[in-house]
Amino acid sequence: MRNLALAVLFVAAPPALAAGPEVVALGDSLTAGYGLSPGEGLVPQLQRWLDDHGAAATLVNAGVSGDTTAAALARVDWALTPGAKAMIVTLGGNDLLRGLPPEEARANLDAILTRAEGAKLPVLLVPMVAPGNYGPEYKAAFDAIYADLASAHGAILGEPLLQPILDQPDRQAALKDLMQPDGIHPNAKGVGLIVDVLGPEVVQLLGRVK
């Protein structure tokens, strides 16, 4: 009877979603899930979104808190495991927090995308947006990096990562309801809004996997 019950459960269970191609999410604390429980971060929420929408993929969390574009470049060869088939790049936030020169971030991101090209991996490049307190020249130079590099490398250009939160009609309420107390990292609810925008972009990325 026990074997029969197991057989019935096996037959009745819905087919599991295929593992799908391995997609490396290369980023900093916003990717790593800083301040959140293991299931609330960007990568696990995005994985659930893909599963729920029938998009077969296996996301690999290659986010490291505190990473600048230079630090991510130093470990990109390690992050791109032999099984990787695509890459999501979400970097630049710590360059902004430190006020590093935009030309350095541009060069580092250019090198990261060049490594992905060499490995024949399609890339989704997710921008960060510079605040205005560094001045208009800095902001213009930094914000231009992502579109320029996406065009140069044939990468998919995503929406700025935090834009779904910044687009909320009441900015102060959004900071309270969707961000952690540090005002830098989204909380689980804020990550959910980000994933609703990021998910379809990753589906587009999966369409480029060979």
The confidence score (pLDDT) of residue 11 equals 37
The confidence score (pLDDT) of residue 9 equals 33
Block residue for tokens 């916003």 = 30
Catalytic residues: 29, 182, 185
The confidence score (pLDDT) of residue 19 equals 84
Q: Where are the domains of the chain?
A: 28-206
What pTM was computed for the model? 0.90
CATH 3.40.50.1110 fits 28-206, yes or no: yes
In what side-by-side order are the strands of the sheet with 156-157? 58-63, 22-27, 84-90, 123-125, 156-157
The confidence score (pLDDT) of residue 133 equals 94
The confidence score (pLDDT) of residue 56 equals 96
CA 75 – CA 31 distance, rounded (Å): 15
- Encode pLDDT of 28-87 as tens digits: 999 999 999 999 999 999 999 999 999 999 999 999 999 999 999 999 999 998 999 999
The confidence score (pLDDT) of residue 5 equals 36
The confidence score (pLDDT) of residue 195 equals 98
The confidence score (pLDDT) of residue 8 equals 34
| Helical axes 102-118 vs 136-153, angle rounded to 10° | 10
- Show the low-confidence residues of the chain (pLDDT under 50): 1-16, 18
Q: pLDDT above 90 covers what percent of the chain?
A: 88
